[in-house]
Amino acid sequence: MKPVAVTHPQSLGYALLALPLAFVALPMYVNLPHLYAVQYAVPLALLGGVLLSSRLVDACIDPFIGQFSDWLYAKSSSFVIFGASLMAIFLSISFAALFHPPSMSGSGFYAAWVGVWVTACHLAYSALSILHQAWATRLGGGPAQQSRLLAWREGAGLWGVVTAAMLPALVGWKNTTLFLAAALAVGLIAWQGVLRSAPPKTDIESPKGAHKQLAMSGPLFLMLPLKQSKFVKLLFIFMLNGIASAIPASLVMFFVEDQIRATSVMAPWFLGVYFLSGALSLPLWLYAIQRFNLQRTWLAGMLLAVVSFVSVSQLGAGDELAFFAVCIASGAALGADLVVPGALLNGLVDHLGQRGKGEGLYLGWWNLATKLNLALAAGLSLPLLAWWGYVPGTHQPEGLAALSVAYGLFPCALKLCAALALYVFWIRTPHPLPLGEKL
């Protein structure tokens, strides 16, 4: 059965839901630690432990969510939209509770409040994200269509991130929460129209050479993706690269206010410039994929990120313009991270004969890796910074030095490791997959 071809208007209708989803993702790992550490005086070590535990719980459930996504798609598109609508409602409620806590006495109560509601928010976000991502994977279409669909989706997500970075500072968290609920409703309505006009296919014939698979249910099938060496290698690269990106995201608010010593009004502008640069770079990365191939384009993005970000550890008080330049350059490198890994994953799922059958399960493990990246970034970097003597709002030389190393140098080292793994596993080693072809 031929994969469904989608038009640009359909791609846009599909992509709109990514805007509020990314809108939820940014505050979870950028604004939330800063808000509860500064405004509600939750110790960094305690906050990091709570966030790490929440992410681990959420991550372990993702493969099951992926299996549930496959079940919904096997039923009908109406089941998919109904499930997505329930998750969107639950997501709006948990987000509102998280950023509007009641008055409580003691940091321990605030930490418990975060633990409950951030876990609820993560689970709803995961379920809705996996359902949304699975539609693009089920369509197939090769590198050209997959890269285009992901560019639309990630581009919308980046505009959501830019909005999320700016809106709380401009209109407050109450109006921000209302905007999220409205954007989720608009995104679901648009996606419902696309599902009706381009329904995903099921029971798609496996390509020649695809591996024989286990039974499509039960615990053995749940572990199936981890039995595929190509998937494990790609997942390893994705995790290394993701941790390298997640650590600066978790620490950026602290770095801006204490190391750069910019005002709280300026902080959202740095985030906005970074993600806007990523959005504007997407057409260039799509051209690079067409000119070269997926994995070489990703390697170029990793190296650009290291070159543009390594100098950030040398910045200090008053270096706002220099930090803006870093945000522009490293934001441009972000575009490759947004388009290429997902396109490689979708092509691999197609090659393994799981399109229309088990892509939700692969996406579940993929999202588990994403959650582990964020969990390790927040759960390890925040307690380590506290142990090294960094205290938010203070300017002790030892603490600021630790902040500079954790924010600037360590992520670059991880990014270089990811680049080396990509070269060894996916560029130097030949693959019988259509992933290295030009579009």
The pLDDT of residue 22 is 82
The pLDDT of residue 82 is 92
DSSP notation for 5-47: P--HHHHHHHHTTHHHHHHHHHIIIIIHHHHHHHTS---HHHH
The pLDDT of residue 93 is 94
Print pLDDT tens along the chain (439 aa): 455 566 778 888 888 999 999 878 766 767 787 788 888 888 877 887 887 787 777 777 877 887 888 888 888 888 888 999 999 999 999 999 988 888 887 788 888 898 899 889 988 998 998 888 888 777 766 656 666 777 788 788 888 877 887 788 788 888 999 999 999 999 999 998 888 776 665 544 444 444 444 444 445 567 778 888 888 899 999 999 988 888 887 788 888 888 888 876 677 788 788 888 888 888 898 889 888 888 899 999 999 999 988 888 888 888 888 999 999 999 899 888 988 888 888 778 877 776 666 667 787 788 778 777 777 776 677 777 778 778 777 778 877 888 888 888 888 999 999 999 999 988 887 655 544 444 3
The pLDDT of residue 207 is 42
> Virtual CA dihedral for 196, 197, 200, 201, nearest 10 degrees?
110
SS3 call for 298: helix
Q: Is 320 exposed, middle or buried (0-12, 13-18, 19+ CB in 10 A)?
A: middle
Helix, strand counts (H, E) of the chain: 15, 0
The pLDDT of residue 389 is 79
Q: Which of 406, 412, 407, 410 is nearest to 302 (CA)?
A: 412
Cβ atoms 431, 296 nearer than 8 A: no
Q: How far apart are CA 88 and CA 98, in angstroms?
A: 15
The pLDDT of residue 430 is 60
Q: How far apart are CA 277 and CA 269, in angstroms?
A: 12
287-302 burial string, b = 16+ CB within 10 Å, else e? ebbeeebbbbbbbbbb
53 phi/psi in degrees, rounded to 5: -60, -45
Q: How far is CA 259 from CA 38, 309, 313, 392, 404, in A?
A: 16, 15, 10, 10, 8
SS3 call for 336: helix
Which tokens is 133 given?
């991502």
Q: How far apart are CA 135 and CA 84, in angstroms?
A: 12
The pTM score is 0.70
Q: How far apart are CA 344 and CA 169, in angstroms?
A: 37
Beta-carbon contacts of residue 307 (< 8 Å; ≥ 6 apart): 329
3-state secondary structure 98-163: HHCCCCCCCHHHHHHHHHHHHHHHHHHHHHHHHHHHHHHHHHCCHHHHHHHHHHHHHHHHHHHHHH
Domain boundaries 10-203+219-428, corresponding CATH code: 1.20.1250.20
Q: How far apart are CA 254 and CA 314, in angstroms?
A: 16
Which tokens is 292 given?
């070269």
Beta-carbon contacts of residue 116 (< 8 Å; ≥ 6 apart): none
Cβ atoms 33, 250 nearer than 8 A: yes
The pLDDT of residue 199 is 65
